[in-house]
Amino acid sequence: MKVKDKINQYIRTKIGTGRIENPADSNMTKDIIENIDTKTGDEILTALRDDKWKLVSQYYILAFDKGIDFDYYRLKKNGQELYFEWDNWFEWKIFGSQQMLKQLVSDYSLKLEIKPMKTS
């Protein structure tokens, strides 16, 4: 990996990209768990990071509204990818493969329906 690529990767993971990622642009399966309260979503995100999920990108860390109006994190581990999106109206959404989302529902006793993401 070239030095320039390493620097760009560092900026994406530590500072953020400055643009809002759209999980529909990713090649992950488009399933969603929605309306996860902030505390539970934060706990899931922390637990996954503690379980060696790698932070691939996040909302720009210097954005004035980070954690106030909007936030996102994209995590990867063993070829699996999860995308967490938070806003102050609907709280957390988690996008990923149905298998991974079912595991999260089971692990965290979420009483939420997994539904396919609408792509247009």
pLDDT (tens digit, 9 = 90+) per residue, 20-77? Answer: 555 555 555 568 888 899 999 999 999 999 999 999 988 877 777 777 788 899 999 9
For the entire predicted model, the pTM comes to 0.73
Q: Where are the domains of the chain?
A: 3-20+28-113
Query: Across all residues in the chain, what is the average pLDDT?
Result: 79
Q: What percent of the chain has pLDDT over 90?
A: 38
CB proximity list for 116: less than 8 A, separation 6 or greater: 30, 31, 32
The pLDDT, as a whole number, for residue 48 is 96
Distances (CA, A) of 72 to 1, 2, 100, 110: 26, 27, 18, 20
Region of 78 on the Ramachandran plot (φ > 0 left; ψ -120 to 50 alpha; else beta): left
Q: For 21, phi and psi rounded to 5 degrees?
A: -80, 150
Side by side, the strands of the sheet bearing 54-58 are: 54-58, 70-77, 80-87, 91-96, 31-36, 114-116
